[in-house]
């Protein structure tokens, strides 16, 4: 089942605190409609009653769908630089909730679960959209990197990583950031994904294998390794 807890949420614009119902876990198998606000970008978004600015509650939560085999640990985007401890924390959570303290029925449910760690609601949406469309997120990251690098008008920085937000039969749509700092839709033909995967050389296959070495499957795992980690204060 899905669980919520009441929390004081501070507005990042004016500091005004308000009491909010915040999700701690979402069970999309039982309640598929809970994915809709994540997809459309309205999830845990509200107007601050003091300054009227939009506030997005970016809070740790689990997103689980046993029917489709998804087990996703979502953490706030601000914690992403410490993804290695995020992976360890999510492994421990999985061990506790799905193995050690789990009822016997869970032993069947956890068969074949795909486990992931994501940071920020746009990264969570990307996984849900990709998996719903039958895409392997590791290959999707490689396609993203190649398309992104080939577009000189796009900013090439970790915080400007394109994020998939829609996947149709023929097209994949990413939100991307230009060098001027504006958002734009980066549209990629879906056939590009298939041809990249099917025609990959040994270097690309090694890159994809390295992306899949843990549960944090994101370009930042490899392409931006070596970032300054001294601000590592927000370990979950
Ligand atoms: Zn405010």
Report residue 74 as tokens. Answer: 């979502």
How far apart are alpha carbons 74 and 86 in whole angstroms?
A: 9
| pLDDT score recorded for residue 210 | 96
Alpha carbon of 211 to ligand 1 centroid (Å): 38
| pLDDT score recorded for residue 225 | 65
Alpha carbon of 33 to ligand 1 centroid (Å): 29
Could you write out the DSSP letters of every residue in 155-178?
Answer: --SGGG--EEEEE-SSEEEEEEEB
Domain residue limits, the chain? 3-221
Alpha carbon of 52 to ligand 1 centroid (Å): 6
Alpha carbon of 200 to ligand 1 centroid (Å): 49
Residue 154 confidence class, pLDDT cut points 50, 70, 90: very high
For residue range 157-212, what is the model confidence (pLDDT) as tens digits?
A: 999 999 999 999 999 999 999 999 999 999 999 999 999 999 999 999 999 999 99
Alpha carbon of 49 to ligand 1 centroid (Å): 7
Alpha carbon of 191 to ligand 1 centroid (Å): 44
DSSP annotation of 100: I
Residue 229 confidence class, pLDDT cut points 50, 70, 90: very low
Percent of the chain at pLDDT > 90 equals 85
Going edge to edge, which strands form the sheet with 183-189?
A: 163-167, 171-177, 183-189
Q: CB–CB of 184/176 below 8 Å?
A: yes
For residue range 74-112, what is the model confidence (pLDDT) as tens digits?
A: 999 999 999 999 999 999 999 998 899 988 888 888 888
| pLDDT score recorded for residue 200 | 97
How far apart are alpha carbons 154 and 33 in whole angstroms?
A: 34
Alpha carbon of 82 to ligand 1 centroid (Å): 28
| pLDDT score recorded for residue 1 | 80
């Amino acid at each position: 089942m899905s669980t919520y807890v009441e929390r004081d949420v501070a507005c990042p614009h004016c500091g005004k605190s308000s009491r909010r119902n915040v999700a701690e876990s979402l069970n999309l198998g039982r309640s598929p409609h809970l994915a809709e606000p994540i997809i459309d970008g309205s999830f845990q978004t509200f107007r601050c009653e003091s300054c009227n600015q939009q506030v997005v509650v970016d809070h740790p939560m689990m997103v689980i769908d046993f029917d489709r085999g998804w087990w996703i640990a979502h953490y706030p985007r601000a914690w992403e630089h410490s993804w290695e401890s995020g992976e360890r924390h999510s492994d421990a959570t999985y061990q506790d909730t799905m193995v050690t303290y789990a009822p016997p029925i869970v032993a069947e449910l956890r068969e074949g679960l795909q486990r992931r760690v994501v940071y920020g609601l746009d990264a969570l949406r990307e996984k849900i959209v990709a998996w719903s469309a039958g895409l392997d997120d590791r290959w999707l990251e490689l396609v993203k990197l190649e398309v992104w690098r080939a577009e000189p008008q796009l900013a090439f920085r970790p915080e400007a990583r394109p994020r998939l937000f829609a996947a149709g039969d023929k097209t994949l749509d990413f939100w991307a950031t230009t060098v001027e700092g504006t958002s734009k839709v980066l549209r990629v033909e879906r056939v590009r994904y298939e041809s990249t995967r099917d025609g990959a050389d040994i270097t690309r296959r090694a890159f994809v294998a390295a992306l899949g070495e843990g549960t944090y499957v994101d370009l930042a795992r490899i392409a931006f390794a070596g970032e300054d980690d001294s601000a590592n204060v927000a370990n979950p």
